C-alpha cells in the first residue's frame, strides 16, 4: 500500500548519479525514500499541503526497484527564503518564537499575512520558514493602550474602537474574525415563555460599563423580554462552550468561553425622548454620548466617579 501511494506522488522518473540538488537548491544525495528521514516525515504528514506534494515530486531522482529515490539533503534541515527575503530554515512553527508569537494576534492583518507567506514545504506540521525576527509595520491599533480600565479612553487619542482591519462594517456584510471586535456584547433578555432572547447589542466602553441604544432597554422591546445579562466574548450564538474556527497552522483557533455578566443597573439619559429621538441635549456628558439615544448598563461593582464632556 505504501508503494502505491509513493508511486502516486512521485510518478515514474529516473536519474543517474549520487550527487544532486534539492528543489530549493541544497546539496543532496540520491537515495531511497526510506533512507531519507526528512522526506519520510514529509510524506507521512497527515495534513500534507500542495506545496509538500510538489516538493516531493520535484525531489525524485530515480527508483530502486519499486521504491522511489529522492534527492535527500545533506543536512537535517531544509533551507528556505523568508517573505522578507532572508535565509531561513523550514521548521515547526512551535520551534520558531518569532512566528509562533504572531499566532496570539489573529486580528493583526500584517502579521497574519506574513504567517501565511511563511508556510513552506517541510517535514513538520505545520512547517514555516523561520529566519531573523521580521520588522513589520504595525497597524494603528497596535499603538494603542489595550489595558482594561474603568476609565474610557481619551477621545483625542484616536484609539477608541480602532479596528484591526479595514473592511465592510455594514450589517449583513463581511463575516468577522473569531477574535475581532472584542468590545462588542450581546444583551440577553428574559421572557416568561420563550426564556432567553437575544435582541440587542452594545459596546464595552470601560471595565464596568456597556453602551447601547435606548430603545434596547425601554419602550416596546420590554414587551418581548427584560434585559438581564450581557454576553462578552460570544462568537457563535448557536454553539455551547468555546467557539472554534479552522486554522491554517494546525490546531483550531478557539476563544475562551463567553462571560455572562448580570446587569446591575440600567441608566437612561434624563433627556432621552423616544418620541423625538434626534434631539441633542445642549450639554452632553458621559451619559449622553450620541444624540441622547444611548444609555449605559453597569455590570460591575463600584460607581461612576467622574463625568466627561464628549460633545466637542
**CB-hemisphere CA count at 13 Å for 249?**
24
- Chain centroid to CA 83: how far? 20
Positive or negative: CA dihedral 107, 208, 199, 201: negative
Q: Give 239's pLDDT tier (boundaries 50, 70, 90).
A: confident
What does the alpha-carbon distance between residue 14 and residue 16 come to, in Å, rounded to a whole number?
7
Other C-beta atoms lying within 10 Å of the C-beta of residue 236: 13
Between residues 15 and 260, which one has the greater pLDDT? 260
End-to-end CA distance of the chain: 74
Q: In what order do the strands lie in the sheet with 184-191?
A: 259-262, 226-232, 184-191, 195-204, 209-213, 294-298, 265-268
pLDDT digits (tens, 9 = 90+) for 24-77: 888 899 998 889 888 888 888 887 888 888 888 898 888 888 888 999 998 888
What does the alpha-carbon distance between residue 284 and residue 272 come to, in Å, rounded to a whole number?
12
Between residues 85 and 257, which one has the greater pLDDT? 85
Is residue 115 within 8 A of residue 249, CB to CB? The reply is: yes
| Mean pLDDT confidence for 66-94 | 90
Classify residue 230 by its DSSP letter.
E
Is residue 26 within 8 A of residue 55, CB to CB? The reply is: no
Amino acid at each position: 500500500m505504501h508503494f502505491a501511494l509513493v508511486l502516486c506522488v512521485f510518478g515514474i522518473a529516473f536519474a543517474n548519479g549520487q550527487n544532486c540538488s534539492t528543489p530549493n537548491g541544497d546539496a543532496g544525495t540520491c537515495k531511497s525514500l526510506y533512507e531519507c528521514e526528512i522526506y519520510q516525515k514529509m510524506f507521512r504528514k497527515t495534513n500534507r499541503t500542495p506545496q509538500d506534494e510538489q516538493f516531493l515530486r520535484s525531489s525524485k531522482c530515480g527508483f530502486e526497484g519499486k521504491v522511489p529515490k529522492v534527492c535527500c539533503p545533506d543536512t537535517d534541515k531544509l533551507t528556505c527564503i523568508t517573505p522578507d527575503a532572508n535565509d531561513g530554515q523550514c521548521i515547526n512553527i512551535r520551534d520558531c518564537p518569532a512566528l509562533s508569537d504572531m499566532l496570539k494576534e489573529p486580528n493583526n492583518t500584517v502579521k497574519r499575512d506574513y504567517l501565511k507567506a511563511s508556510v513552506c514545504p517541510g517535514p513538520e506540521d505545520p512547517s514555516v520558514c523561520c529566519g531573523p525576527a521580521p520588522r513589520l509595520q504595525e497597524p494603528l491599533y497596535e499603538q494603542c493602550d489595550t489595558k482594561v480600565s474603568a476609565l474610557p479612553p481619551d477621545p483625542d487619542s484616536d484609539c477608541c474602537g480602532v479596528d484591526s482591519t479595514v473592511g465592510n462594517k455594514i450589517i449583513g456584510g463581511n463575516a468577522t474574525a473569531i477574535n475581532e471586535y472584542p468590545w462588542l456584547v450581546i444583551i440577553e433578555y428574559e421572557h416568561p415563555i420563550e426564556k432567553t432572547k437575544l435582541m440587542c447589542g452594545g459596546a464595552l466602553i470601560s471595565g464596568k460599563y456597556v453602551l447601547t441604544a435606548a430603545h434596547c432597554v425601554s419602550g416596546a422591546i420590554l414587551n418581548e423580554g427584560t434585559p438581564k445579562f450581557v454576553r462578552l466574548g460570544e462568537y457563535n450564538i448557536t454553539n455551547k462552550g468555546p467557539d472554534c474556527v479552522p486554522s491554517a497552522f494546525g490546531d483550531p483557533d478557539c476563544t475562551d468561553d463567553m462571560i455572562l455578566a448580570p446587569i446591575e443597573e440600567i441608566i437612561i439619559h434624563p433627556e432621552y425622548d423616544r418620541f423625538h429621538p434626534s434631539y441633542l441635549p445642549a450639554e452632553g456628558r458621559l451619559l449622553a454620548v450620541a444624540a441622547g439615544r444611548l444609555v449605559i448598563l453597569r455590570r460591575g461593582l463600584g460607581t461612576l466617579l467622574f463625568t466627561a464632556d464628549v460633545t466637542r
